[in-house]
Amino acid sequence: MKLLQRSLVARIIASLLAISAMALISIVVTMTVASSSRGDAAAINMAGSLRMNTYQIVAALQRYHQQPDAEHREQVRGLALRFKERLTSTQLVDAMPAADDHVLQDQYRLLLDRWDRELAPQVESAIAGDRVEPAELGATLDGLVAEIDTLVTLLEENSESKIRLLSALQILFLALTAVVVAIALYDIRHNLVAPLRQLVVLAREAAHRNFTHRSHLSGHDELAMLGRTLDTMAQELGTSYADLEQRVSRKKAELERSNRAMQVMHDGSRQLYGGGNDLCASAAPMLRRLEELLEIGPIRLSLHDPVDDRQIPILATHSARRPEYCRDHDCHACLIDPRPLRLGETEQGECLLLPVSVGEVMLGTLEIWYPRGTPLSDSTRRLLNALADQLATAVYLQRRIEEQQQVSLMNERTIIARELHDSLAQSLSYLKMQVARLERMQEKQVPRETQAAVFGELRTGLDSAYRQLRELLTTFRLKLEGPGLQSALNQTTVEFAERMQTPVELEFDVPPHLLNPNEEIHVLQVVREALANIHKHARAHWAGVRVHFANARLQVRVEDDGVGLEDDSSPPMHYGLVIMRDRAETLGGELRLRNRPAGGTLVELSFTPMTARLITRQPEAPIPDSAGAGPDTRRGAASDRAGGDRVALKHNGNRD
């Protein structure tokens, strides 16, 4: 019973077995009843034939009494023998019930006894020739016939009772089968179909991400256990799905926050790299927006002082006062926060210290405070590391820009000093020597005619010095419309074209950033000196300037269609050509002056540019690619500075 209560499969199997057993029993009973009814019809027919045989015997006896011969006597004896055989035949005997007390057995024995005691003796007496009374014989005959009728009736009733029994058994087994089927259907409907429907609904709801539906199945069978298991699974899935949704929501919010933070850093990078020397005004708004997005703060940036080996606070958000070393008191980037906080005084705060460095160069530190108990996520830490790198790049660029500005200023001063030394200073030295010569002549009271020659030389020297001064002022007052040598040459050709009232063509084919400032000023001065000579002496109607770079050498050609030179050598004591040759030697090149085959003069300067891009040096401290400037800038500045020093020393050796 416990197995049937706990197992739906066992109940279904039991129902099928019960139905099969009842069907089998019904078949067996039907076969048994049918087997027991076999021969009933033959027995009834046989019993009915006994009645006909009785009448035949009576008729034969009557004929025998009328004609007592042997034929009629044999006929009577044969009919009596047939009656006896039929009465004791197996068809009739086998149809009798086995029970001795059955009414059929009693009626059969009665019929048999009556034949043996009444009719058979009378038949024998009649055959033997004894006188038999017709009335007595008729009475015996009627009684026997009545007994035979009773036997036939009992046989029919016995056969009908078997048929009724068979019908009753069929109805009984049908009813039992119907009851078992009804019980099985009820059990299947309430314990199989209904739970399956609930489980299907549960599965459908789970497929639609509704994990709150429950089957609420009770019982101990398989489907009840499956329902409780699925309820537990749905509850766990609902919990897991809700947890996953929360995690996905947190990840999505974190990604959106990271994207906004990256956008803030991207927008802030433009101000950092394009904000000049104002790091506070460019970085403070970005840091405050990052604090709002990442829920951190305050943030303090300190830069390392390599001289004193200490950290100097430069910028702090949520600050109640400006930094101690603030350089611009008109800037209020640190003081616009309505909620000033003190770094390190928050009881529930933790600090993340990040290095602000480029390669192995330590530039400073970045202090980032955040609430205690809320650890920073990996994405937030990566963003803060990127922020530290971005600030490091900005600080490094700012320092490199300041160093480059200082180097450029020193180079410019060196160039101005060299140009003054090469031109005006030498002319003044020459005039000084002439004045000393004139003083000695006056002390010796040299005749005035002799002194007049010295006065002429002084006048010529002063004119030359004044002209050189005007050339220098014109050179240093050039307004470059674009960076580099090409812009300066454009202005120069336009200037001399207006002064000579003749066209001056310019052909420039030089890679950008090839020449350093020292080389550019030398090339420009050579071109200007050559154009000045064309203006003064050539009486030309056309001039051309061609600057071309090929085979690692720079070729500068200035030509005209004027009167040309007497020969291909420089005129003696021609001061401008001497300076041009000195500039060519300074550049490590050569200057050639000759007549053109088509007429006019050709001045050609050729040298190899000695810039940082053509000189291999040891690599210095690296800088990220995003900085926009690298070791080449630093090496170029060093090369310019070294080149300027070499030029100054060379001219000191040649002139002084």
Structural domain including 355 reads 275-376
Three-state secondary structure call for residue 524: helix
Does the pLDDT value for residue 649 go beyond 70?
A: no
> What is the number of residues in the chain?
656
Average pLDDT over residues 157-171: 84
Instruction: Tell me which range, 143-147, 196-200, 394-398, 555-559, is most confidently predicted by mean pLDDT.
Output: 555-559
Domains contained in the chain, number: 3
The CB density around residue 468, as the number of other CB atoms within 10 Å, is: 22
Does the pLDDT value for residue 531 go beyond 50?
A: yes
Q: Does the residue 165 lie in any domain?
A: yes
Query: Residues 602, 557: contact at Cβ < 8 Å?
Result: yes
Query: Residues 429, 652: contact at Cβ < 8 Å?
Result: no
CATH number at residue 503: 3.30.565.10
Give the pLDDT confidence score for residue 69 in this predicted structure: 77
Of 348 and 180, more confident? 180
Same domain, 190 and 290: no
Give the pLDDT confidence score for residue 54 in this predicted structure: 79
CATH number at residue 43: 1.20.120.1730
Same domain, 279 and 194: no
Give the C-alpha separation, 421 to 651, whole Å: 8
Give the pLDDT confidence score for residue 554 in this predicted structure: 92
- pLDDT digits 0-9 by tens, 14-33: 888 888 888 898 888 888 87
Residue whose structure tokens are 């490590």: 588
- pLDDT digits 0-9 by tens, 264-289: 888 887 777 765 556 777 788 888 88
Token output for 358: 């480029």
Give the pLDDT confidence score for residue 347 in this predicted structure: 46
Q: Does the residue 397 lie in any domain?
A: no
Given 148, 167, 199, the domain boundary residue is 199
Q: Look up the pTM and report it.
A: 0.45
Q: Which of 108-117, 228-237, 640-649 has the lowest mean pLDDT?
A: 640-649
Average pLDDT over residues 94-101: 75
Query: Residues 38, 31: contact at Cβ < 8 Å?
Result: no
Enumerate the β-bridge partners of residue 591: 605
Enumerate the β-bridge partners of residue 559: 544, 602
Q: Does the residue 84 lie in any domain?
A: yes
Same domain, 20 and 132: yes
Of 470 and 504, more confident? 504
Same domain, 69 and 184: yes
Q: Which of 97-111, 167-181, 236-250 has the lowest mean pLDDT?
A: 97-111
Given 199, 227, 250, the domain boundary residue is 199
- pLDDT digits 0-9 by tens, 562-604: 988 877 665 544 667 777 888 888 888 999 999 998 889 999 9
DSSP per-residue string spanning 160-218: HHHHHHHHHHHHHHHHHHHHHHHHHHHHHIIIIIHHHHHHHHHHHHHHTT---------
Nearest to 294 by CA among 335, 334, 336, 265: 265
Confidence of residue 627 (pLDDT cuts 50, 70, 90): very low
Does the pLDDT value for residue 34 go beyond 90?
A: no
Give the pLDDT confidence score for residue 371 in this predicted structure: 85
Average pLDDT over residues 369-384: 85
Give the pLDDT confidence score for residue 321 in this predicted structure: 62
Same domain, 160 and 16: yes
Give the pLDDT confidence score for residue 604 in this predicted structure: 94
Given 586, 609, 632, the domain boundary residue is 609
Instruction: Tell me which range, 27-31, 427-431, 477-481, 633-637, is most confidently predicted by mean pLDDT.
Output: 27-31
SS (H, E, C) 547-576: EEEECCEEEEEEEECCCCCCCCCCCCCCHH
Token output for 6: 């706990």
